[in-house]
Structure 1
């Protein structure tokens, strides 16, 4: 069985394939456990990236807050 590349699976995930391509990919995914697993890994990667971005945003926000009466920030 020929497998879809990660690039093609990304196009499928982000609905950037044509209708026929999406139908063919969806049909393939029903039959191919390996491609379903890779698709799930790509989705998990996106979730991890989103969580990391949120952590960085919170860190930046907190690092600029004064810690006490001397008004120093976390990064000073």
Structure 2
């Protein structure tokens, strides 16, 4: 092989040591899903704790209905 062609191929495809091993994509996907699951569980626990700390807000006071003024016809 020509040295120039070989150098170009290594730039494009990378050296064999830089490539991921077979099956590593599945490992990366599994790690991402595990991290997402852990983060979701942590956020759920924080939300539940925050809701437990909150005191219920007092019910808003009921307003009196407006009195209608009857006007006679003139």
TM-score range, shorter chain: 0.3 to 0.5
Q: Say which one has the larger Rg.
A: 2
Q: Which has the higher contact order (CA 8 A, sep 6+)?
A: 1
In the superposition, the TM-score normalised over structure 1's length comes to: 0.46
TM-score for both structures, normalised by structure 2 = 0.47
